[in-house]
Amino acid sequence: MTFFEVSDLHSYYGASHILFGISLKIEEGTLVCLLGRNGAGKSTTLQSIMGLVAPKKGSIIFKDQEIKTTPPHEKVRLGIGYVPEEREIFPSLTVQENLEMGTRVLQKKSKVRYQWEIKDIWEIFPSLKELKNQKGGYLSGGEQQMLTIARTLMTCPDFLLLDEPCEGLAPVVVKSLGRMIVEICNSGCTILMAEQNIKFAMTISEYGYVIDKGTIQHQGSVSELKENENIRKYLTVSAA
């Protein structure tokens, strides 16, 4: 079975050609990163996969099924979760209510691999449990990011797209969020994570793609990429 494969994807914003034939293959159960600096095309790739940007050419296969033209809400039902770069929480709802909103999309979902429940979320994100009655709008940046990921987990994805989950977070928060992302992958959820923070991404992923100017420049296991001096020019090296 092909779990997830993108072939020769081309996307545009109006007349601007942004993605030039992106191809990615992701094995079930792995954590793969998409590395690239500002404007490289990471978010456009994730949005094209999700259908928020309509690709003009190429194919997207998820579990042997062509999903290029499947609408985003239908992709959620098929088991794809998407955590955008902007943290999307409901500020006036509590942490627990935010999580309950996540389960609503499940009502029409037929077959679920693993039914995430709020108690599972508290296990992975203990700090959210302590804040369960706090309003979303009062959470710190790191807590809001955890809540956004947690709410997406409540839709029971088999495949999770994370767009720069660590952006703007302090190094200590990045470290603990990294452990949580690995735990989510270990629970059986395949992950594609867009990142600029190469050190962080390479610490937790197994395989990586390097994107620049809407084209995949390199791909390989993280240990291969670490050895490859040529990829540095496509990346911003951060201290975190």
Q: Which residues of the shown chain bind ligand ATP in the complex (CB under 6 A)?
A: 13, 16, 18, 36, 38-44, 85, 196
151 binds, among ligand ATP, Mg ion, none (CB under 5 to 8 A by kind): none
Q: Are 40 and 163 in contact (CB under 8 A)?
A: no
User: Which residue is closest to Mg ion by CB?
Assistant: 43
Question: What would the two tokens of residue 234 be?
Answer: 């496509």
Please say which residue, 103 or 238, places its beta carbon nearer to ligand ATP.
Answer: 238
Show contacts with Mg ion in window 61-100 (CB under 5 A): 85
Q: How far is the CB of 33 from ligand ATP (least distance, A)?
A: 12
Contacts of 34 (CB under 8 A, 6+ apart): 24, 42, 45, 46, 192, 193, 194, 195, 208, 209, 211
What angle (nearest 5°) sits at the alpha carbon of residue 190, between those of residues 189 and 194? Answer: 125
Please say which residue, 56 or 113, places its beta carbon nearer to ligand ATP.
Answer: 56
Please say which residue, 37 or 129, places its beta carbon nearer to ligand ATP.
Answer: 37
Please say which residue, 2 or 236, places its beta carbon nearer to ligand ATP.
Answer: 236
Q: How far is the CB of 19 from Mg ion (least distance, A)?
A: 13
Of 103, 80, 65, 59, which is closest to residue 161 (Cα–Cα)? Answer: 80
Determine if 43 is a binding residue for Mg ion (CB under 5 A): yes
Give the residues lining the site for Mg ion (CB under 5 A).
42-43, 85
